[in-house]
Chains A and B, each alone.
Chain A
C-alpha cells in the first residue's frame, strides 16, 4: 500500500538515477543512519560498541570489498584476509613511524593494499575460476610469510605492532569507544556510498559483464585487462581500509595470526551467506559471521551451571554450522535475496494476486 513504485513520478534525471527509488526505502535508510549516528552511541553499552558493532562495520567493509571482486567481477579470491593484514600493518607504519595524519594513513594503507592487490591480481588475466582461487590462496601465504620474516614490517621477532595513540588533526584524541565508533562509522558510510555508486556505474556494469560471460564482454568493448585489475584494486583497497580500521579501533595491535586463512574463508562465507553481488548482502553476511557466534556464546551462558563447559563450547560451533547449512538450503542466493523476496511481497501488500 505504502511500499510501491507507482505514483512516484520521476521528472528529472536525478530522481531516475536515485539509489532508493521508493520513498519508504529512502525514509528507512535515513532512519537507519539516524540510529547509527545518534541512537547507538547514546544508548548502546561500551561492550556492545567495541565488540560487536565496530567489528561488524569493519567486516562489512571487507566483505563488500570481496563482493566487488567475487560477486560483481566474478574473480574468486580466498586470500582476502592477507590484504586486511597488509592494510593493518601499513597503516600502523604510516601513522606510527612516519607521523602521517590518521585519516590519510588509513586511506593510504588502502592505496598500498590496492597496489599489492593489483599485483596479486595479475594471474587473473590468464586463469579463471577455481584455478584463480588457488592462485589467490598463494597470496595469503606469500603475504603472511613476508610480514613474519621482514622484520622491518613486523617490528622484530614478536611480529606484532601495537597501535599508537590516535589523534585526529594532532590534538583530538580518539581514545574512547564512542569516538572509535564514529571514526569507523564515518569511513564506512563514506566508502560504502562511493562503493555503491561504483558498482551501479559504468565500471560496475563492466565487472558484471565480465562475470557473466567474459569473452562476450570483450566483444562488446569491455577492456578485460583494465577492468579485472581495477576490480582487484578496488576490492583490496576496501580490504586494506577494513584491516586498518579493525586493528586501530578494535584489536589494538596488528598481529599476523589474526588474518590467517580461516579469516579468509570466513570472508568468503560472509558473501555467500549474505548474497553475492549485493551491497546489502555484505552487511548481512558480516552480521552473520561476527554477531551470531558471540550471540550464541552469550545466550549459552545461561546454561553454564547445568551443562559441562566443554560441551557448551562445542555447541556453539554446532549451532553456527547448522545455521550456515540452514540458510544455504533455505536461500542459496543469500540473505540479501530473502530481503528482495520480502520487498516483492511488500509491493503487493495487502492485495496479493
Chain B
C-alpha cells in the first residue's frame, strides 16, 4: 500500500511538473509569429547516418536564427520532425501530415521526391531536392515547384569528368583540348542497381561519345554488400583507370575494401557526394586513405557561422545532435540547405514584406535568389557554400562541385571547385524535361 501510494504521488508530481514547465515556457516568451517548417527525417533504418545529420543541421541553423531573434528579428522558426525511415509511403504520410501548414519540403530521399513532385505541385509547396532526386527538375519551366539547388547529379558527373581530365594533366580551362587528355581513358561507373544509381548512365554515355573515353557500367544489386564479382571485372578484365563510386549507405564502404584487396589505388576512386561522408569511409579503416569524393559544400567546423552555432546553440545545450558530429559532412549539408532556404525567405520578405510566407511567396524568393560572394562572407560561410543565382528557368542556381580527399582521419578539401559543363548538361536536362512534360501533358511555362 505504502509503495503504491508513493508511486502514485511520484507520478502525479511528474505529470504536474511537465504541465507547469510547459506552461512557464509559453508564458515567458513573447509570442512572435511562427514560420512552420516540417522536416522529413530518418533517424532509423539503414541510412540513419545521413538522415540524422541532414535534419539536425537544418534544426541547428534554425535554432541559431531563433536565438538571434528570429527571421528579420520578427518571425520565429518553428519545426517539427516526422520519421520516414527512408520509406516512400511513410514519407507521403509525413508530407500529408504537414501539408496544410508548411511551405517547403526537403524529401531527403529520391523515392520520396518522386512521389512528392506531383502532389506538391498541386498543393503549391516548394520541393527542394539538394543534390538528389530528378536531375531534369532543374528546368523550372516544366517543374515550377521543384528546385535542385545548388547542383544535380548530371552536373556533378560532368564536373567529375573535368576533374579526372585535370588529374591526367589538363589545365582545366580550355574545353577544346579536354578530349586529348580523356581519349582512351577507361572509367568504370560502379553504381547501385536502383533508379538512383542508374540516373547518371545517359550523361556518362553521352560524354564518353563526345570526348572519346570508355565508360562501362557495373551494376551492384541492392543493398550492395557483396561487390567481389564487380571488382574482379573492373580491375582484372576492364582494367579501369578511374572508378566512379555511385552507391549509397553501406554499399559506399564496400568498394574501398574490395579495391584494397585487389591492390587498386584508392586515390583512383571518386565517390558521389552521397558516398563522401565520415560514416562511409571510417568502417573501411586504412583502406579508405586517399579516396576522393565530390561534395557541394565545405566540411569541418572552421567557418564563422558554424563556430557561432557551437558557441551559442551548443553552449546553451540546445543542440540537436551529438556534439562530435557538428561539422561532419551530412550535418554541414543540412546546414547549408537551411542557409539557402533562409536566404530565399529573406529575398521573399523584401518583396512581400516581413510576414509568414506561403509556398507561392517562398517560391518567388527561391527563383530570385542571388547569393553573391560578398553575401556569403557576410553570413560567415565562406568556403562552406558556393555563390548561387537562380531564375525562373534555372532551378539549379550554382552547379559548382567541390572535391575532397580522405586523409585517414578527416575529409580535406582539395581546393578544386569545378564548374560543370553547364551548356552540355542544360541541353540534356531540357530534353529530358520536355519528354516528361509531353508524357504528363504539361505545357511548360514561358520564362522572360
Interface, chain A (partner B; CB < 8 A): 47, 50-51, 55, 141, 144-145, 148, 154-160, 162-164, 246, 250-253, 255-258, 260, 262, 293-294, 297, 301, 304-306, 308-310, 312-314, 316-317
Question: Is B382 positioned at the interface, with any CB of A under 8 Å from its CB?
Answer: no
Tell which of B80, B93, B432 has the most Cβ of chain A within 10 Å.
B93
- Assembly CA distance A144 to B223 (angstroms): 13
Partner of B92, one of A162, A252, A293: A252
B88 / chain A contacts, CB cutoff of 8 Å: 251, 255, 257-258
- CB distance B97 to A148 under 8 Å? no
Residues of chain A with a CB closer than 8 A to B96's CB: 47, 50-51
Q: Does B162 contact A (CB under 8 A)?
A: no
Chain B positions within 8 Å of A, measured between CB atoms, are: 18, 22, 41-44, 52, 55, 80-83, 87-90, 92-93, 96-97, 110-111, 114-115, 117-119, 134, 193-195, 198-199, 201-202, 221-222, 320-321, 432, 435, 439-440
Across the A-B interface, give the 3 residue pairs with the lowest CB-CB distance, nearest first: A159-B195, A313-B43, A313-B83
Q: How far is the CB of A148 from chain B (nearest CB, A)?
A: 7
Distance (whole angstroms) from the CB of B292 to the closest CB of chain A:
25
Verify A251–B89 contact, CB threshold 8 A. yes
Q: Which of A47, A50, A159 has the most CB of B within 10 A?
A: A159
Q: Is the CB of A309 within 8 A of B92?
A: no
Q: A158 to chain B: closest CB distance in Å?
A: 6
B195 touches A157 (CB 8 A): yes
18 contacts between A and B (CB under 8 A): A144-B222, A145-B193, A158-B195, A159-B198, A162-B118, A163-B118, A251-B89, A252-B92, A252-B118, A253-B114, A253-B115, A258-B87, A293-B90, A309-B55, A312-B81, A313-B42, A316-B44, A316-B83
Q: How far is the CA of A260 from the CA of B118 in the complex (A)?
A: 22
Instruction: Report yes or no: A304 in contact with B80, Cβ–Cβ below 8 A.
Output: yes
Instruction: Find out whether the CB atom of A309 lies under 8 angstroms from the CB atom of B43.
Output: yes
Smallest Cβ-Cβ distance to B199: which chain A residue = A157
B114–A250 touching, CB < 8 Å: no
Contacts of B198 in A (CB 8 A): 148, 157, 159
Interface contact B83-A252, CB-CB below 8 Å: no
For B320, list chain A residues within 8 Å (CB).
308-309
- B114 A148 Cβ-Cβ under 8 A: no
Check A297–B193 contact: CB distance below 8 A: no
Query: In the complex, which of the residues B22, B55, B115, B439 has the most CB atoms of chain A within 10 Å of its own CB atom?
Result: B115
Contact in complex: B118, A297 (CB < 8 Å):
no
Task: Report the minimum CB–CB distance from B244 to chain A (whole Å).
Answer: 16
Q: How far apart are A263's CB and chain B's nearest CB, in angstroms? A: 9
